[in-house]
Amino acid sequence: QVQLVESGGGSVQTGGSLRLSCAASGSPSYSYCMGWFRQAAGKEREAVVTTESDGRTNYRDSVKGRFTISKDNVKNILYLQMNSLMPEDTAMYFCASLGRYCSGTYPVAEYIYWGQGTQVTVSS
């Protein structure tokens, strides 16, 4: 059983920062390939940044240079540091895991373990 629990969301103004956390527990397979995703109201869930087994990261273009993914392997926590936030970043943010080794990027539907999400709201 794998559990992913996000926290750290909130409301900020344009230009502000937030750090999201995803506490993970359960089978070690959750840690192989993880990512942060978001879903805005009325829109499809999209990948924000994903990791590969060799440590490579894949950021969506709109967050490059503003968001940074990191991981504390001792505490089993995945982080997403979000700087220079913009109203278009407003969404529910989720962490997720493929549950297996991976190379490259994968459709959202292939991620099998999900947290409950944490809301990020950016006002102008």
What amino acid is encoded at 95 in this protein?
C
What does pLDDT average to over the chain? 94
Measured CA to CA, the distance from residue 34 to residue 50 in angstroms comes to: 6
Measured CA to CA, the distance from residue 21 to residue 10 in angstroms comes to: 12
The pLDDT of residue 27: 76
Assess whether pLDDT exceeds 90 at residue 123.
yes
Assess whether pLDDT exceeds 80 at residue 63.
yes
Write the pLDDT tens digit of every residue in 2-49: 899 999 999 999 999 999 999 998 877 667 799 999 999 999 999 999
Assess whether pLDDT exceeds 80 at residue 115.
yes
The pLDDT of residue 92: 98
Assess whether pLDDT exceeds 90 at residue 122.
yes
The pLDDT of residue 30: 66
The pLDDT of residue 1: 76
The residues, any chain, with a CB within 8 Å of residue 98's CB and separated by 6 or more, are 32, 33, 34, 106, 110, 111, 112
Percentage of residues of the chain with pLDDT beyond 90: 84
